[in-house]
Structure 1
Amino acid sequence: MKIALLGTGFGQAHAAVYASRGDAEVVMFGRDPEKTAKTAGQFGFASSTDIDAAFTDPSFDLVDICLPIPLHAPYVLRALEADKHVLVELPLADNLQDAQEVAGAAQRSGKHVFVDMFERFIPANQALFDAVTEGTYGRLEQLTLWNKTAPLWPGASLGLKTLPLEAMHSDMDIITRTLGQPTDATVTTVARDEDTAAIEAAFTFDGATARSSMSSLMPMAWGVRGGYTATFEHGVLDATSTMGFDGKPTGTVTAYTQDGPRELDLPTADQYTAMIDHVLAVLHGQDENQIGPDTVLAALRLTLDIEQRVNGTH
């Protein structure tokens, strides 16, 4: 599998996974020749600043797009026009019209489009999805999600302008996958400055409620911490996790029922490795695409609603 990896920033998270495999040949593309060559060299990859080659070179099977959000949809469409499979960082687009256009183009193309909904591959979240699907504890009545982070990424803004699309989209995916679309929403915010802020979003459903709390107000010593509490008719799932600079979370999920508390035995998994493993398995004909663009539209619709309430956009 030959892969054109676009972007030297977050693209490094994908590069690390490809480098650990023996079945991926990668060329990393960036704007700055020196920076791109240095970054690609860390993983043993070739580098290029000729981004057109990612689409015109017939030897590339997959285009992996780790570029700024406004470029996501246009570059996915360009890759499909070039008859390439595509993996794109979330969110799929910064507006619903472009996302729907990509979903339609993907369906017509016969090529796979994957959106990096990495949170679906976190074992704690899979435990929640399974409990809802299988009705393990009855109906889900209340879901609280929280993520609080320090400014661990130099130069990256986590203020009100970026938090909805950059940080809350994964929570919106969890909410829509477990409860659907809400009937009502309330959003409150606080901003320390342009790059640090917090958003609280509360949602009402038919017979259920959900809340997402996202904050970048924490000191460096805090790192990244998050989790959820899912209250069902006949039990509770409570998950907590911490994440360091390596991007690999550790955590636990505890089930509380009338029989008492029980920590769930979950597999150890790095979400980015699991996501890319899934992508390559699909391309090798070993799995069905679980992160196609049609599967992310509900979450994007809710994310964009929060974005509009916070920043008055879209």
Structure 2
Amino acid sequence: MKIALLGTGFGQAHAAVYAARGDVEVTMFGRDPGKTAEVASRYGFAASTDLERAFEDDADLVDICLPLRLHASLVLRALEARKHALVELPLAATMADARAVAEAAGRSDRHVFVDMFERFIPANRALLDAVRDGAYGRLEQLSLWNLTAPLWPGASLGLKALPLEAMHSDMDIVTQALGLPARTHVTTVARDDDHAAVDVTMTFDGATVRDSVSALMPMPWGARGGYTATFERGVLESVGTMGFDGRPTGTLTAYTPDGVREVELPPADQYAAMIGHVLAVLRGEAANEIGPETVLDALRLTLDIDRRVNP
């Protein structure tokens, strides 16, 4: 499988996964010749600063890890060039652009994938399976949280960034579990332009959701997140760390009238699982679970929150 990987920033998260596989050939594309060559060499890839090549050469998949404003147009360009496309989240900066991509993908015989990597976290899959199967009855209350220190030098996690950069995956979980809310309320606090927190409460028919995202934590805190899902007949609680210290953690606990038990989860790196899914679909071994049409509700909700945070 030949892959054109666009972007030397967050693209490195995808690069690390590709480099660990033996079934892909990757060319990394970037703007800065020195940085592009250095990063590509680190992963054993070819390097190029000629973006045109990504769409003109014989790549099977264009992997787009560039700024949000470029996402939709580059996916459309990949489809026009009859290439499959994987795009970092969010899919687009507007619903009009997102719908245009979904419609173009629907007309094409090429696949479009959106990197909804949190769908591949085993604890999140367990939550959505429980909602779908009714294992604990109806979901009545859901609290999600993601609290981080400023672990990415030079990256802003202020109010302008948090909704689209940090809350979108949570909104995907929410909309998959419950659909779109009837009412939404947003509160914020900002330490400065680069450090802030956002709390969102949402009301559904028979359920309530709260999502808290913060970039106000000190460096020793690292990055931690999880959820508490309260059902009619039990509670699922997920707690995890991102493992920036080399020691990632994660637990899922079920509380029911019969007692407390730890839920065994398969080990999984969400990025490796997501890219594994993409390649399995392209080999004809799986159905696409992260197509653009599956993310529209989550994007609509995220953009609504972003407008409230940044009017």
Query: Normalising by the residue count of structure 2, what TM-score does the alignment of the two structures yield?
Result: 0.99
Asked if 1 retains the 8 angstrom alpha-carbon contact of 2:170 and 2:211, the reply is yes
Matched, 1:124 2:123: yes
CA change 1:51–1:285 in 2 (3 A) is same
Structure 1: stretches of 5+ with no match in the other structure: none
Q: Deviations over 1:30-59 (max 9, x none)?
A: 0000100000000000000000110111x1
- The letter for the 1-side match of 2:40 is A
Q: Secondary structure at the match of 1:192?
A: strand
Q: Deviations over 1:247-282 (max 9, x none)?
A: 985210000000111000100000000000000000
Write out aligned runs for 1:77-156 (5 A): 77-156=76-155
Structure 1 residue 64: Cα displacement:
0.1
Q: Name the structure 2 match of 1:216.
A: 215
Structure 1 contact 3–60 (Cα < 8 Å) conserved: yes
Q: Deviations over 1:81-110 (max 9, x none)?
A: 100000000000011000000000001011
Structure 1 vs Structure 2: percent identity of aligned residues?
A: 73
Relative to structure 1, the CA distance from residue 220 to residue 231 in structure 2 (aligned partners, 3 Å threshold; closer, same or farther) is: same
- 1:86 is paired with a residue of what secondary structure? strand
Distance 1:109 1:299 in 2: 23
> What are the within-5 Å matches in structure 2 for residues 150-299 of structure 1?
150-245=149-244, 249-299=248-298
Aligned partner of 2:11 in structure 1 is 11
Per the TM alignment, residue 245 of structure 1 is displaced from its structure 2 partner at its CA by 2.6
Counting matched residue pairs gives 311
Provide the C-alpha distance between the structure 1 equivalents of 2:244 and 2:206, rounded to a whole number of angstroms. 39
Tell me which residue corresponds to 1:36: 36
Which contiguous aligned blocks of 4+ residues in structure 1 show a shift greater than 2 angstroms? 244-250
CA contact (8 A) 2:144 2:212 kept: yes
In structure 2, the gaps of 5 or more residues are none
CA distance in 2, matches of 1:229, 1:131: 13
Shift of 1:244: 2.6
Superposed CA RMSD in Å reads: 1.0
Q: Matched residues in 1 for 2:99 and 2:272: separation?
A: 27
Once residues 74 and 196 of structure 1 are traced to their aligned partners in structure 2, the CA distance between those partners, rounded to angstroms, is 30
Match of 1:63 in 2: 62
Aligned-partner Cα distance in 1 for 2:26–2:177: 36
Which residue identity lines up with residue 309 of structure 2 in the other structure?
A: V
Is this contact kept in 2: 1:248–1:270, CA < 8 A? Answer: no
CA contact (8 A) 1:80 1:109 kept: yes
2: CA distance, partners of 1:141 / 1:248:
33
For 1:310 and 1:151, locate their aligned partners in 2 and report how far apart those are by CA, in whole Å. Answer: 20
Partner letter of residue 165 of structure 1? L
Asked if the contact 2:188–2:197 (Cα under 8 Å) also holds between the matched residues in 1, the reply is yes
TM-score normalised per structure 1: 0.98
1:209-235 deviation per Cα after TM superposition (whole angstroms, max 9, x unaligned): 001000000000000001000000000
Confirm or deny: 8 A CA contact 1:190 1:198 kept in the other structure.
yes
Higher mean displacement: 167-176 or 241-250: 241-250
What is the DSSP-based 3-state SS (H/G/I as helix, E as strand, rest coil) of the residue aligned with 1:266?
coil
| Helix, strand or coil at the partner of 1:92 | coil
Aligned residue identity for 1:272 = Y
The answer on whether the counterparts of 1:249 and 1:270 sit within 8 Å (CA) in structure 2 is no
CA contact under 8 A between 2:243 and 2:249: conserved in structure 1?
no
